[in-house]
Amino acid sequence: MLHTLHHGDVTELRCTTWRSRSVGFQVSAFLVRGVLVDTGFPDCAGALAWFIATDRPDGCLVTHFHEDHSGGVAVVARAGVPVWMDARTADRVRQPDRIGFYRRYTWGSPSPVGTVTPFTPPGSLECLATPGHSDDHHAVWDRETGTLFGGDLFIGVKVRGSHANEQPRTLVRSLRQVIALRPARLFDAHRGLVENPVDLLTAKADWLEQTIASIDPLIADGLDDTTIARRVLGNDWFSRAFTAGDYTMRNFVRSVRLTAGDAEPRGSGPVGR
């Protein structure tokens, strides 16, 4: 199901299925200045194809490779709509890795993406490298209206769970980067229009810094990741069971441990594809 909401100059394409709703999830793509930001998840690709056929965008920007954001890229590409994405995103959507059952249940399985026509974003829209949630993550900044399309940069203030490859320390830096822009509006892929974005982004960055500062001494004391997670973050038995350990509080602690030296992550950097 694709539900269309209008926010002045921004059209939100809210994607759900009965399975995504059964676990409390939805995801949105956004149309601004004739450009589609993200493509929803695989099980909504048919609805996206119908939308493109009736309201064809000039191009598409993909914030990162996760299937709830890139799941419709194959449909967009087949329609001949040009696409911009980071080099790492492009590599991953061409031959998607097999994903866990809970992700297949919620979003569906992504299809390999064939030939993509490159897209150069218009001057008013800038793709900002904002790693942390993933190494290829980008936010889209509309400088003319002060609007930030955050992908998964925000999600919520106190997000205690993590995939194994997330980097909380890096995410703090990305949050501080976009806070400095003083966005007037934030469109979050899972929450839609977010009110008071500067306050909420700041609260998230502060909470992450405080949480990391609570975890570091426990790591130094020799506690294991599971014990630290329970002491600092709480109990996530349902998430651990439903995701088979793929999205857990323990992963959050492990990521903090692995980045204790606070080294900058390596990557190929943003390029147009």
Mean pLDDT of the chain: 94
Give Cβ neighbours of residue 199 (< 8 Å, ≥ 6 apart): none
Q: Which amino acid is at 32?
A: V
Question: What CA–CA distance (Å, rounded) separates 216 from 146?
Answer: 36
Please check the confidence at residue 272 and state whether its pLDDT lies above 50: no
Tell me how far apart the alpha carbons of residues 195 and 197 are, in angstroms, rounded to a whole number: 6
Confidence class for position 34, pLDDT limits 50, 70, 90: very high
**Structure pTM?**
0.93
Dihedral sign of CA atoms 193, 199, 201, 203 in order: negative
1-5, 77-81, 260-264: which has the minimum mean pLDDT?
260-264
Enumerate residues 6+ apart whose C-beta is below 8 A from 45: 39, 71, 72, 74, 75, 108, 111
Distance CA 185, CA 201 (A): 11
pLDDT in the model for residue 273: 35
Integer CA distances (angstroms), 213 to 168, 202, 219, 256, in order:
11, 16, 10, 10
Q: Give 1's pLDDT tier (boundaries 50, 70, 90).
A: confident
pLDDT band at residue 86 using 50, 70 and 90 as cut-offs: very high
Q: Where are the beta strands (DSSP E) in the chain?
A: 2-7, 10-15, 27-32, 35-37, 59-61, 83-84, 125-129, 138-142, 147-151, 185-188, 192-194
The stretch 214-239 carries a mean pLDDT of 96
In this prediction, residue 247 has a pLDDT band, given cuts at 50, 70 and 90, of very high
The DSSP element (H or E) to which 255 belongs, if any, is helix 249-258
- What's the whole-number mean pLDDT along residues 189-206? 97
Which residues have a Cβ under 8 Å from the Cβ of 98 and sit 6 or more positions away? none
**Element containing residue 64 per DSSP (H, E):** none
Query: What's the CATH code, domain 1-122?
Result: 3.60.15.10
Q: Has residue 263 got a pLDDT over 70? A: no
For β-strands 27-32 and 147-151, DSSP reports them as unpaired
Number of H helices, E strands in the chain: 11, 11
- Per-residue pLDDT of 103-147, as tens digits, reads 999 999 999 999 999 999 999 999 999 999 999 999 999 999 999
Query: What pLDDT score does 262 carry?
Result: 62
Residue with tokens 């064939």: 114
Does position 189 have pLDDT exceeding 70, yes or no? yes
* pLDDT of residue 269 exceeding 70: no
What stretch of H or E contains 111?
none
Q: Is there a contact between 55 and 35 (Cβ–Cβ < 8 Å)?
A: no
CATH, domain range 129-267: 3.60.15.10
Portion of the chain with pLDDT greater than 90, in percent: 93
Query: Tens of pLDDT along 59-68?
Result: 999 999 999 9
Residues 6+ away with beta carbon under 8 Å from 51:
2, 4, 13
| CB neighbour list of residue 126: distance below 8 Å, 6 or more residues apart | 140, 141, 143
- pLDDT at residue 261, as a whole number: 73
Specify the domain boundaries for CATH 3.60.15.10 within the chain. Answer: 1-122, 129-267
The Cα–Cα gap between 207 and 157 comes to 7
